[in-house]
Structure 1
Amino acid sequence: MIMYGIKNCDTCRKALKWLEAEGISCQFHDMRGDGLPPEELAQWLDSIDRAILVNKRGTTYRQLDEAAKAALDGDDPSAEIIAQPTLLKRPIFAHKGTYLVGFKEPEKETLRKWGA
C-alpha cells in the first residue's frame, strides 16, 4: 500500500501513526517533496470523483485565480495539480489499483481490510 500525502500535513501524520499502531505496513510518498507522478495522477482523475479528490475548502484552492479554478474543473486539471499538490485532499491511499481518499472511520475500516 502507498500513502500519498504531504509530510507536514496533520492528517497525514495522524494516518501514519494510526497505520503503525494497527500494524499495517505502508510506503509514504510525499507529493510535495517527491513530486506527483503524472501517470499516477491520471489514474486518480480517471478513478476518483473530482469532487472527492480536489480540496476546494483549502487555502491553496481559495487563493487561486478564476482561470486556475476553471482549469481544475476543465477536461485536464493535471498541470495545475502537479504544480500545487496541496490542491488534493489528503491522504490518498493506493492499494492494488484501488484508491481511497481521506482518513475518517469508513477509510480506517477499509485500510484494516487492506492490511489484513
Structure 2
Amino acid sequence: MIPVLYGIPNCDTVKKARAWLAEHGIEHRFHDFKKAGVPAAGLDAWLAAVGWEALLNRRGTAWRALPDDVKQGVLDAAGARAVMLAHASTIKRPVVEWGQGRITVGFDPSAWSSRG
C-alpha cells in the first residue's frame, strides 16, 4: 500500500510534507479534503489511533472562526468527530496513513524518516 496523505493543498505544512515525500522518492496518494471531503471511516480510524485531542486543530483560524457554542460542544471524541466532519479545516494536517495501521498527524521529518 502506498501512503495516503490527507490535507488541503494550500496548507503550508501539507506543501512541506508533500515536498519531503517527493524528495525522498516516496510515492503517495493525496486526498484533498476540500474536493473529496473527510472520509468518515478514515476519521474514525484516526481518532482510534491518535485520539481526538491530537487530531483536532484548536490553534487554526478554522477553529477560531467557529461559533462559541460549537466549540464548547467539543467535550469528547464524538463532539470532535462531528466538528471535523462538518469543518475539514479543523483537522490537524497532514494526516498520513502509512499502511499496516500506522497513522501520523502533522509533519515531523525525523519521525517520518524512521517510519519503517
- Specify if TM > 0.5: yes
Contact kept? 2:47, 2:77, Cα under 8 Å: no
Give the deviation of 1:98 after TM superposition.
Answer: 1.4
Give the one of 95, 100, 114 matched to 2:98.
95
Alignment-derived partner of residue 72 in structure 2? 70
In 2, the alpha carbon distance for the partners of 1:52 and 1:45 equals 9
How many aligned positions are there?
112
Once the two structures are TM-superposed, the CA of residue 30 in structure 1 deviates from its matched residue by 0.6
Aligned to 1:80: 83
Equivalent position of 2:62 in the other structure: 60
Corresponding residue number in structure 2 for 1:28: 30
Deviation of the 1:75 alpha carbon? 4.3
Superposed CA RMSD: 1.6
One-letter code aligned to 1:42: D
Q: Which amino acid aligns with 1:83?
A: A
Deviations 1:11-69 (CA, angstroms, capped at 9, x unpaired): 11111111111001111001121111111111111221222111111011112222211
State the TM-score, normalizing by the size of structure 1.
0.86
1:79 Cα deviation from its structure 2 partner? 2.5
Specify the SS of the correspondent of 1:72.
coil
Name structure 1 gaps, 5 residues minimum. none
Q: Please report the TM-score for the alignment, with normalisation by the length of structure 2.
A: 0.86
Residues 84 and 110 of structure 1: CA distance in aligned 2, closer, same or farther (over 3 Å): farther
For the 8 Å contact 1:71–1:80, the answer to whether it is kept is no
Matches of 1:108 and 1:43, distance apart in 2: 19
Summarize the Cα distance change of 1:18–1:9 in structure 2 as closer, same or farther, 3 Å threshold. Answer: same
Structure 1 residue aligned with 2:109: 105
